[in-house]
Structure 1
């Protein structure tokens, strides 16, 4: 099942904006060098190991450039890939294949890198019960594809933006005057606006955890930059009353220990802001 933010309209709008940025008033290289009626084919070559992502999106892109292009998918999104694999072939108007090439590769290389790292971190916490979350640390205007890649890699999406969930972070708490003040002001605001949004509050100390519990009316408590020992104590204090999320400075080396504290979720910004793209290439063939 696709995430709800992936609609036909949202995907179409993304592709239209991306093509407008790249193509402008025409792909003059292809228009100049390639006969308009030339037919050709190309295949997507994998040049690194990991998890494939963006195949479905590639289909949308090729269709947007030229509905007559024929895509034969050999490896689906989420497939484990290795150097030398062929993910798909595309046949049709040569000019159209060339126009779509860079957008397909730009999307798929980054999405595959994100899916691969998500898959890897998820494997490190397997069996603990903790789920891996992404964050809003995404590339402007590419968030939809980055979060899609997290799902393909086996992770879970956090809120999509500022509008679909309330997260009271440290600055909100400090500006509001404290945990209780931030929560109660938010509850009042939501009631006045008639909005039914889940509230998560970030805590930095056990005292803040206790204050959040005492105030109530929340959905999840974030444990920010706490040591695993402190986190374990916080989870015990919360006692299952609210969902728990670990965040802040979590690395490959520490994520297993964090997961074993009993937290429900672990959010890692590096899933989308610090990944290495998987090398892919679209090559013509006879």
Structure 2
């Protein structure tokens, strides 16, 4: 005779005996979240209060000045930041998405070189940004004789955020159900037609969200750009990819070094501008995800 053992549903008392530390662990997590949010609110309040007096049109209409802080602005840094991030997205997004398509749709995971590519992508995502700055200085600026220009900065930041773009794009492509691919192939579409017409449109929200978050990381980087010759004081806007440049993190760093308190107020106001750009980018990412996300 075969005895069939039925699983007895766990009662609340049994669950409490098995996991006595679960409420404590949840309380520790909530306390950690509360501490992090409290520090963030305090920092934001301090920065906004400190820089409120200079959050006016002079900040984005005037160029930096070393002698007259009441006339100084951050126009060249704002323009430089926009140009660098735009070029970074132009370089890294197509390469990152195509790499993700290859690894998810074409690559044979049994091949050693594909496994090596995946391992390197995972490792490069954790490399400190200063290492990319050294790489850009030694290979791009000096090796390829590109100089310390806007192009060198954009290429270096592209290398910095490329692993993040690849990983997020792979996750978005992997989230598309296999039945979508099978149905398309069953109707006579080729593999590339299936990817182009079915997989990529369905994965656009995830790809766009990951890309914007990766660029949000790049917009706050200062260490690699210091190595690449971002000028701390520049009084013109870049007009080509071979021009000198500055960005908001570098300009903030320069103002904080000054002994005059007026420059510290300028630095706080510039931090608010940088945070505003970051919030706008993240808001666009959230809007794209909610607007085009599909429920399978």
TM-score interval, normalised by the smaller of the two chains: under 0.3
Question: TM-score, length-normalised on structure 2?
Answer: 0.23
Question: TM-score, length-normalised on structure 1?
Answer: 0.23
> Which protein is bigger by CA-based radius of gyration?
2
Looking at both structures, which has the greater relative contact order when contacts are Cα pairs under 8 Å and sequence separation is at least 6?
2
The structure that is strand-richer by fraction is 1
The structure that is helix-richer by fraction is 2
